[in-house]
Structures are given as C-alpha cells and as structure tokens.
Amino acid sequence: MIEAQPQNQPARRAASWWPRLNSGALTWGRLSLTLHAFLMYLFLYGPILVLVVFSFTRDEFGVRWTGFTLEWYVRMFANDRLMGAAGNTLYVAFVSTVVSTIFGTLLALAMERHRFRGRTGVDAVIYLPVVIPEIAMAVSLLAFSALVLEFIRVVTGEVVRRSFLTVIIGHIAFSISFVTIVVRASLKHFDRRLEEAARDLGANSWQTFWRITFPMILPGILGGALLAFTLSLDNFIISLFLSGPGTSLLPVEVYNKVRRAITPEINAISTLMLAVSITLVVLSQLVQRRR
Amino acid sequence: MHKGYAIELANVVKRFGEVAAVDHVTLQIHDGEFFSLLGPSGCGKTTTLRMIAGFEYPSGGELMIHGRPMATVPPHHRPVNTVFQSYALFPHMTVAQNVAFGLKMKRVPKAELGARVQAALDMVRLAGFAERYPRQMSGGQQQRVALARALVNQPEVLLLDEPLGALDQKLRKEMQLELKSLQHRVGITFIFVTHDQEEALTMSDRIAVMNQGKVLQVGTPTEIYERPTCKFVADFIGETNFIEGKVVEQGDEYATIQTPDGLQLRGYTPLPVNVGEAATLSLRPEKARLILPIHARPDDAFTMPVHVEMITYIGSDTRITVRLNEGRTLDVWEQNTLSTLDRNAYWQPGEAAVLVCPPANALVLTE
C-alpha cells in the first residue's frame, strides 16, 4: 500500500514551509520582491540590532566588537545623573498617564455618547496634537507656560520656575488625544443595548457604567494608558522645552551625553528604553485584543 | 395580583423630529395576556415597546402600568423586563452572573439570590450552563438565558422584542410553543413584538396590527384573520384576493359590490358600508372553491366562470391560479385530501372551471 503513494508527495510536503521559492520558476519579479522585503527590514531593524549588540561590546567607543561585557550596564546603573533622569522620567510618565487617561476617557465618552453644541468643533480639535508638528506644539507650550509664569510673577510677586508641573502638563496635553482615540475606538464597538439591558434590569446610570460599560471598555482604556505612558517615556522635544532645572528627563539626558561622546553606556540605556517601550506596546496590544 | 389592565396606552404619540413613529395609539392589555404587536418594519411596534420599557418617553398621551402613570419613570424603576432582539447578554459575565444581575441590583439576599437564579435556569432548561459565558452558547441557548435573566425578576409584564428573529425556522417553531407554555406557567403578561404574522397567530391571545404608527385593529387571532376590518390587515395577515368595485346593495350584515366590468359579488361587511361607496372584496384563497362546469347549476349565485392558468403543487395543498373571463386572475388553494398519483384528480392548465365564492367566506371592505 505504501508503494501506491505518489512519489513526489513527501518532497512537496517538505518544501511547503519555504513558500514557492524553490518550487516552480524563480522569476525576477519574485526575486526582487523578496529582496525588497529583506532590505526594508534591514534598514528598519539593522540600526536597532547594532545598538543592542554594541551595548555589550568591550570597546569603549562602542563602535567595534571586541568581546562581551555587561560593564556598561553596571556603569549605567551607577550613574546618578542618568538614574536621576530615569526616575524623573518614570515619575512624569506615571502622573501624566493617570491624568491623561482619566481626561481622555471622559472626553471619549462625551464625544461618543452626547450630542452637544460645538461637538463637531471639539471633534476636529481633539486630534490636533496628533497631527501638528511636535516642535510647534513644544514652542506653543513653552510660550504659554512663560506667559502663565509671568502672570503669576506679576500677580503674586513670586518667581516661579519651570518644573515637573510644566513638563507633566505638556505631556498630558498631547497624551489626552491618543487616549481619546483608543478609547473611542472601543466605545464604537460597544453595543449600547447592553446598557439598556442593565437599565431594564434595575441598574441606575452609575451602576450601569461601572458594571457594564467600564468593564467592557477597560481593555481600550488600558491600551490608551499604556500608549500614553510609552509616548511620555520617550518624548524628547516637549520635555526639552518644558523642563526646568533639576527636572531633566532621560531622553534629554541621553542627548546631552551623546553630544559629548558616544559611549556604550548610551547604547545600554537606549537598549533598556527600547526594551521598556516594546514591552509596553506589546502589552497594550495584548490588552486590547483580549475581550 | 392587580385587577384590570396590565398596560394602558391612551393616545400615545412619539415623534422623532417631524416624524410620528407612534401616532395616537390607544391600547388596553389585560393582566396575564399574551399580547402581540404585529406589523411591518417601521410601523412603530418596537417604539411602542420601548416606551413601555422606558427607553423612550412619549411625546404625548398617557401610559400606565397596572394603573400607575409611567410616562416619565426611568426604566430601572419600572416593573417590567425586556428580552431583546439581539439578547444583549453581558459578554463579560457568566450565565449565572447575567441572570443574577437584576436581583443584585435589587439587593436580594445572597441565599435567596442563588436559589432564584437556579430556579430560573431550571425553568429554561439550562441548569448545567451556569458557569458558561454567553459566547460559548448557541443562539437558542442565549435566547433562553435572556428569558431567564428577565423572568427571574418576576416582572409584572415581560416585553419581548422580536426575540425569535435570529433563530432558524425549526428552532423558531419550537421556541414559539415553549414561550407560549412558559407564559401559561408563570402567568405574567407578555407583550410580544413581531413582524411574522404566523408567529403572532400561533402564540397570541390578542394581536394589535400596526402600520405607519397607528393601530389598525386589535383582536384575537381568529378575529384578525377571519374578520379584518381594512385592506391592510386582510393583506398583511395571510393571503387574499382583492376585487375592486362599488357598493350597489347593502343589507344588514352583507353587501354586494359591482366590478367595473359588471360582475356582481356579495360578502360580509365587518364595518357598515354605504351604497355608491368604492369597496374591495377580499376572498382568501382557501375559502374559494373550484368546481367543474358540469357540476354548476346555471342559477347558482356567486359563481364565476374561470380558466385554470397555473398549478403549483406544494404537498399539503395545490395552489391554482385561475383567470376570470374578463382577464383578472385569482388564487385558489385546494387541500389535497386524496392521496393519488392520478393526474386526472388534479386540475389541468387551460381547463374550464367555475369558481364558487359563498358570501359568508368573502369580506367587503371600504378602507
């Protein structure tokens, strides 16, 4: 019976994981497409790979591979300036995420649930921070904060410097838009008849929100929060413009270090930031997919 | 229990912008009744139900549940529960949690809550499914969860918004009978919204036929089918032949109409008519009879010479389209009471026949 099987079947089956490249004709079109994909990934991820690899090199300029070491990570953790900036960054990211998630969610609920005057206007303005150049946003926030600080000086006579507060407000300003986008998407999929069913079963509006609406859109809210956190962690321009003395954030600190010299320590801290960002983005995707 | 009407609507109007979705509806629904709102989509039946549930407030008129005015009472304070068309089960809760939701909102003690949830699941034959999630169940099972979730609250009135619409034909028939027997057991007033006339006839004690926001007729299934008071109801419920004409003679219960081509037909008048009025004769296809011309006596009243045009054999019935001599066609259904393969036992296309239309089987309608 075994002999009765067609002879070419095992060969075909073995080749099936390698899609069609070695079965059938290898045309120029197919070859150039494959090459294109390969180069695209190389340009996208090559530099990142180099960065990660050279964070482990012994070479003190971090540009040649001279053997494996964790020394730069050790130095990085011992560097008070860097660690201080990392702490600042986490603090700013945490506070701005909490605030922007609450406001962004409320905004999304208002936009999806209510018809009010000026709704279309608000709708258009919400996404402005997403589309306008970050530098424009940074300059406007700087000018605005200067104005407010000057106003406080004139009124109270006290000189107020830019501080964590200004940076946090700046981060909140752009994060709200992103949170709103993500939460609105999950509200769009939400079946409002579930809320009617809850009302019908004796729940008031408050109970309906906390027992039905909130658990259902929670993945969207968490996704938005993780996105806001990631965006705050690696924000550079707004952080640079709005931070005051003693509130320097990690991306700004890294930039200052790079201006003097590229050391493997920079590679190490960048690799760490990369790892944190990727983890958060993956987490936010997982959270949103879970239903 | 309360006496009198479970639900009373008096001149209830619901406007959405300029459009009146519900237009001066007046209904009295008895306690313990299985009452259907029947009509085509957009006729206002669902809006009426949503006003009873409290999801919409009337723009005008009076709405009472067991004598208590309800017009502006929010849904969570009304003694009614709804089974939604799409079931609207909470996807993040198990079946037991879904069913327990209403009791939790009423702060029913834990021990009692568990027992009542169990009893409700037993009632809809889902005892073993308490820990499942809605997505792990079939459409029919989800439907029964929705029923249990509503009935566990012991509402005064249960509202059902086309609850069988998403089920396949066979399951639908089963659920129709199951719902009917469930209603008998629990003794709660059911208000059932449907666009399916057969469903409404099968299940209801009484039916309100709606069109364009208005209630056209309220009656038992027999009344609605046998004595429709207007053309819309006669046409929407079951099938019928319409013959247009003018009233030429009018008696106590019967009237005669004359068609433009001189044919005179007589029928029962559910509403009074006047001589000279335009009217329509409605003749249900199963209430007409075809006989061979040799069996017709020449002095037979209310007969029409016809020719058989088309035969459709559908098993239980044979549906025959006949052409009247002046060109009009009518449908006649004959029950296949004989089991035979003999072709001569059936009508043949082209054959001459006589259609017998007894006045008691036809209706003269003016609207």
> Going by C-beta distance under 8 Å and a sequence separation of 6 or more, which residues neighbour residue A278?
none
Residues B144 and B176 in one domain: no
Indicate the residue among B238, B254, B282 that finishes a domain: B238
CB-defined contacts A:B, below 8 A: 60
Q: Is residue A207 exposed (0-12), middle (13-18) or buried (19+ Cβ within 10 Å)?
A: middle
Q: Each residue of A200-209: pLDDT tens digit?
A: 999 999 999 9
- Say if the Cβ atoms of B88 and A194 lie within 8 Å: yes
The Cα of A279 is separated from the nearest Cα of chain B by a number of Å equal to 26
Going by C-alpha positions, the residue among B307, B301, B312 that lies closest to residue B353 is B307
Domain boundary among B154, B180, B203: B154
Tell me, yes or no, whether B255 and B360 share the same domain: yes
| Residues of chain A contacting residue B149, judged by C-beta atoms under 8 Å apart | 201
Q: How many CB atoms lie within 10 A of CB A59?
A: 14
Is B188 in the same domain as B176?
Answer: yes
- What does the longest C-alpha to C-alpha distance in chain A come to? 99
Tens of pLDDT along A120-179? 888 888 888 888 898 999 999 999 988 988 888 888 888 777 788 889 999 999 899 999
Chain B residue closest to A216 (CA)?
B92
- Same structural domain, B58 and B176: yes
Q: Are B55 and B196 in a shared domain?
A: yes
Q: Mind giving me the DSSP string for B35-69?
A: EEEE-STTSSHHHHHHHHHTSS--SEEEEEETTEE
Contact assignment for A201 to B76 by CB distance below 8 Å: yes
Residue B300 pLDDT: 66
User: What pLDDT tens digit does each residue of chain B (367 aa) get?
Assistant: 445 799 999 999 999 988 899 999 999 999 999 999 999 998 999 999 999 999 999 999 999 999 999 878 999 999 999 999 889 999 999 999 999 999 999 999 999 999 999 999 999 999 999 999 999 999 889 999 999 999 999 999 999 999 988 788 888 888 899 899 999 998 999 999 999 999 999 999 999 999 999 999 999 999 999 999 999 999 999 999 999 999 999 888 899 998 887 888 889 999 988 898 999 999 999 998 898 888 887 666 678 888 999 999 998 899 999 998 667 889 999 998 888 888 888 888 889 999 888 888 899 998 7
Q: A124-128 long-range CB contacts below 8 Å, 24 or more apart?
A: A126/A177, A126/A180, A127/A177, A127/A181, A128/A177
B136 close to A (CB below 8 A)? no
pLDDT value of residue A76: 87
The residue type found at A256 is N
Which one of B196, B218, B238 terminates a domain?
A: B238
Residue of B nearest to A214 (CA): B92
Cα distances (angstroms) measured from residue B137 to each of A216, B95, B120, B125, B132: 19, 10, 17, 13, 8
Chain B residues with CB under 8 Å of A214 CB are none
Whole-number Å distance between alpha carbons of A96 and A113:
25
**Closest listed residue to residue A212, CA positions, set A184, A245, A187, A176:** A187
Q: Is the pLDDT of residue A107 over 70?
A: yes
Tell whether B109 is within 8 A of chain A (Cβ).
Answer: no
For residue A197, which residues of chain B lie inside 8 Å, CB to CB?
82, 84, 88-90
Residues B150 and B289 both lie in one domain = no
pLDDT reported for residue B136: 93
For residue A243, give both structure tokens: 């931070």
Q: Is the pLDDT of residue A290 over 70?
A: no
CA A101, distance to chain mean position in Å, is: 14
Contacts of A259 (CB under 8 A, 6+ apart): none
Q: Are residue B188 and residue B71 in the same domain, yes or no?
A: yes
* CATH number of domain containing B199: 3.40.50.300
With CB atoms and an 8 Å threshold, state whether B74 touches A199: yes
DSSP B72: T
Q: Name the phi and psi angles at B291, rounded to 5.
A: -130, 160
pLDDT of residue B84: 93
d(CA A229, CA A249): 14
Query: How many structural domains comprise chain B?
Result: 3
- Name which residue leads in pLDDT, A280 or B53: B53
Q: Would you list which residues of chain A are within 8 Å, Cβ to Cβ, of chain B? A: 191, 193-194, 196-204, 207, 211-212, 215-216, 291
Check if the beta carbon of residue A186 is closer than 8 Å to that of residue A288.
yes
Contacts of A204 in chain B (CB under 8 A): 74, 76
Do B188 and B316 lie in a common domain?
no
Residues in chain A closer than 8 A to B86 (CB atoms): 191, 193
Residue of B nearest to A215 (CA): B92
Q: Which of B54, B81, B86 sits opposite A193 (nearest CB)?
A: B86
Q: Which of B70, B84, B89, B158 should be substituted to probe chain A, the one whose Cβ sees the most A Cβ atoms within 10 Å?
A: B84
Cα–Cα distances in Å, from B353 out to B29, B286, B327? 47, 16, 15
Q: Which chain A residue has the Cα nearest residue B153?
A: A201
> Could you give the angle at the alpha carbon of B75 between the alpha carbons of B209 and B167, nearest 5°?
50
- Helix (H) / strand (E) containing B367: none
Which pLDDT does position A79 carry in this prediction? Answer: 87
The set of residues, in sequence order, having a beta carbon less than 8 Å from that of B208 and lying 6+ positions away, is B27, B35, B36, B37, B38, B215, B217, B218
Contacts of B54 in chain A (CB under 8 A): 199-200
CA distance A284 to B220: 58
CB-based contact A202 B91, cutoff 8 Å: no
More confident residue, A95 or A262: A95
Token couple for A255: 């930039």
Per-residue pLDDT tens digits for A216-237: 999 899 989 988 998 998 899 9
Query: How do the residues of chain B divide into helix, strand and coil, expressed in percent and rounded to 5?
Result: 30, 35, 35
Contact of B82 with chain A, judged by CB distance below 8 Å, is answered with yes
**What's the rounded mean pLDDT across residues A45-64?**
85
**Which residue is closest to A196 within chain B, CA to CA?**
B55
Q: Are residues B57 and B185 in the same domain?
A: yes
Note whether A201 contacts B55, CB cutoff 8 Å.
Answer: no
User: Which tokens go with B252?
Assistant: 């106590």
> Residue B281: its pLDDT value, please?
92
CB A288 within 8 A of CB A219: yes
If asked whether residues B272 and B356 sit together in one domain, one would say: yes
Whole-angstrom distance, CA of residue A37 vs CA of residue A56: 28
Are B228 and B244 within one domain?
no
pLDDT above 70 for A18: no
pLDDT of A9 reads 46
**DSSP annotation string for A255-269:** HHHHHH---HHHHHH
Three-state secondary-structure class, residue B138: coil
Cβ contact (<8 Å) for A215 and B106? no
Q: Is the ipTM of this complex over 0.85?
A: no
Taking the CA of residue A272 as centre, how many other CA atoms within 13 Å lie in the half-sphere pointing to its CB? 19
Q: A84: buried, middle or exposed (CB in 10 Å: 19+, 13-18, 0-12)? A: middle
How far apart CA B281 and CA B242 sit, in angstroms, is 6
Rounded to whole angstroms, the Cα distance separating B153 from B81 reads: 8
Ordered structural domains, chain A, with CATH: 80-249+278-289 (1.10.3720.10)
Q: Which of A201, A281, A205, A258 is nearest to B78 (CA)?
A: A201
pLDDT category, A7, cuts 50, 70, 90? very low
B16 close to A (CB below 8 A): no
What average pLDDT does the structure give for chain A?
A: 84
Residues of A in contact with B53 (CB under 8 A): 196, 200
A106 Cα to chain B: minimum distance (Å) = 22
- In sequence order, the 6+-apart residues with CB closer than 8 A to the CB of B366 are B247, B271, B273, B277, B278, B279, B280
Q: What share of chain A is helix, strand, coil (3-state, %, to 5)?
A: 75, 0, 25
Token digits of residue A248:
């320097």
Please answer whether residues A63 and A54 qualify as being in contact, where contact means their C-beta atoms are separated by less than 8 angstroms: yes
| B213, B282: one domain | no
Interchain proximity B84–A197, CB inside 8 Å: yes
**Cα gap B72→A265, rounded to integer Å:** 69
Residue A261 has pLDDT above 90, yes or no: no
Residue B94 domain boundaries: 86-154
Q: Which residue of A has its CA nearest to B86?
A: A193
Distance CA A51, CA A268 (A): 8
- List all residues 6 or more positions away from A199 whose beta carbon is below 8 Å from its beta carbon: A205, A208, B54, B55, B74, B75, B76
Residue B183: alpha-carbon gap to chain centroid: 17
Q: Tell me, yes or no, if B153 comes closer than 8 A to chain A by beta carbon.
A: yes
What's the CA gap between B283 and A87, in Å, rounded? Answer: 87
> Residues with Cβ < 8 Å from B209, sequence gap 6 or more?
B38, B39, B215, B216, B217, B218, B224, B232, B233, B236, B237
pLDDT at residue A25, rounded to an integer: 60
